[in-house]
Amino acid sequence: MATKPLKGHITSGYGKRINPITKKSEFHPGIDIAPLSRSNEPVVCAKKGKIAYIDTEGKGSFGKVVYVVMPDKWYAVYPHLQAINKNIHVGDSVEEGVFIGLCGNTGLSAGIHLHYEERNAMGVNSLKRSPDDIIALYNNQN
């Protein structure tokens, strides 16, 4: 099962696109979701798993970010957060719908949104996959 990580709509899909910051063609390894309002929209866990990593300082390109390792050993990544839930910690089990943080614009970001991606490892050179089940939730407006 899966749930929408953010109430809103997809503004940039998985695949080739023009990067809004560099204006160059690139492969976008996730989906960008715009919130219903401009800020303070809650981001929730889309799929159950365990908290694998939390960056509350946000000094990297992902800004403030949370990684959740799912049962299939792939990671769900929640970058650009404005704030992270202080009640979640590395090693915690989380279910769908658990509050992760607030949608934001931290790191290398062109505006308030959630970039959601799934990857097989935490490193830069990890494999990415299209989150088709999450995309379907937005396309079907469930």
Residue 63 sits in a domain whose CATH number is 2.70.70.10
Section 112-140 average pLDDT: 92
**Domain-located, residue 17:** yes
Vertex 26, ends 82 and 115: CA angle to 5°? 20
**Domain-located, residue 65:** yes
**Domain-located, residue 1:** no
Section 6-22 average pLDDT: 83
Does 4 or 21 have the greater pLDDT score?
A: 4
Query: Could you tell me where the DSSP H helices lie in the chain?
Result: 132-139
Q: Show Cβ contacts of residue 16 under 8 Å, excluding neighbours closer than 6 positions.
A: 25, 26, 27, 28
**Total structural domains in the chain?**
1
pLDDT in tens, 16-57: 878 777 788 887 788 999 998 876 899 999 999 999 999 999
**Domain-located, residue 62:** yes
- Look at residue 142 in the predicted model and tell me its pLDDT: 47
- For residue 58, the enclosing domain spans 8-139
pLDDT in tens, 90-99: 999 999 999 9
